[in-house]
Amino acid sequence: AAMVQKLGKTVGACPPTLPFPLLDIEDLCKARSLKTCEAVVADLGPPGAKDVDACRPVIQPLLDKLFNGKIKGQGLDLVGQLKAARKEMFEFIDVQNCNPIMVRLGWHDSGTYDKRRTEFPDMGGANGSIIYAPELNHGANNGLNKAVNFLKPFHKDYPLISWADLIQMGSAVGI
């Protein structure tokens, strides 16, 4: 953090105290077993960092998820979960640089639509069915299991969001 601060960077989850993406902070908290906001700032922040309260709103939900069994979407209605997931997904897709595969997943999920069929789910479309083996294992969908795996933590953290909506959100955010 001290080097990033010297470079004048003001990016990350809680700049200038924690100038790292939230996903990196999550990995470091797991690896170093950092279970309090104070421990995170002391371990990951620049020497002498004391601005724990400014980082608490960002870091505490992450620590709750990692160590207290809470899920991110807990206590939020569907709209709240959609907004929170979208915000988190922007950072995730940017950090992972997985834009193309997320767009491809959304495209292939919707590509099963057949206007000649009138009954749901026979008509296909963007219904989330690509997460199931018969469709995911189809040759045209080769490699999309990686994108589905990217979305599994989101589905766990935001249980009110359907697979269909999550896949299409990933595609839209990827664009």
Quick check: 5 pLDDT over 60? no
- For the question of residue 138 being annotated catalytic, the response is no
The dihedrals phi and psi of 11, each to the nearest 5 degrees, come to -115, 175
Residues 23 and 173: their CA atoms lie apart, in Å, by: 17
Res. 164 pLDDT band, cuts 50 70 90: very high
Quick check: 41 pLDDT over 70? yes
Identity of the amino acid at 165: D
Quick check: 40 pLDDT over 50? yes
Mapped onto helix, strand or coil, the DSSP state of residue 80 is helix
Res. 2 pLDDT band, cuts 50 70 90: very low
Share of the chain above pLDDT 70, in %: 89
Task: Identify which of 17, 16, 65, 8 has the alpha carbon closest to the alpha carbon of residue 41.
Answer: 17
In eight-state DSSP terms, residue 142 is T
Do residues 92 and 166 lie in contact, with contact meaning Cβ atoms separated by under 8 Å? no
pTM (global) more than 0.75: no
Quick check: 4 pLDDT over 90? no
The pLDDT tens digits of the residues spanning 107-158 come to: 999 887 777 877 766 667 788 888 988 888 988 999 999 999 999 989 988 9
Q: Which residues, including other chains, have CB under 8 Å from residue 15's CB and lie 6 or more apart?
A: 9
* Mean pLDDT of the region 76-88: 92
From the candidates 81, 102, 108, 131, which is the catalytic residue? 108
Identity of the amino acid at 155: H
